[in-house]
């Protein structure tokens, strides 16, 4: 199990990855305000609002994401099995 942290500036922006240097490079599609998604992602999520935070989980094949949105930035963690 490996953990990586991901920072995205917006839903279509470049993802910046932090971690141990061995994290895989992935395209992560995040929901927009009008709920547009790339159709080829299988996903589930739930969310709730607490002040300016936006929390949700994301699942894509063997990758599990936990993200939150705070003041125009997405902060994400993802996990995958090696």
**Domain coverage including residue 32:** 2-80
What's the pLDDT at 80?
53
Q: Which two tokens stand for residue 28?
A: 């992560």
Q: Which residues of the chain have pLDDT under 50?
A: 1-3, 8-61, 81-82
What's the pLDDT at 68?
59
Task: Provide the whole-model pTM.
Answer: 0.27
What's the pLDDT at 79?
56
Estimate to the nearest angstrom the gap between the alpha carbon of 39 and the chain centroid. Answer: 16
Give the chain's domain count. Answer: 1
Q: Which two tokens stand for residue 35?
A: 């709920």
């Amino acid at each position: 199990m490996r953990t990586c942290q991901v920072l995205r500036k917006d839903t279509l922006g470049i993802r910046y990855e932090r971690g141990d240097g061995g994290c895989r490079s992935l395209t992560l599609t995040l929901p927009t305000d009008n709920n547009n998604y790339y159709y080829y992602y299988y996903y589930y999520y739930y969310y709730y609002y607490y002040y300016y935070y936006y929390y949700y989980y994301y699942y894509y094949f063997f990758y599990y994401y936990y993200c939150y949105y705070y003041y125009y930035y997405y902060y994400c963690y993802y996990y995958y099995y090696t």
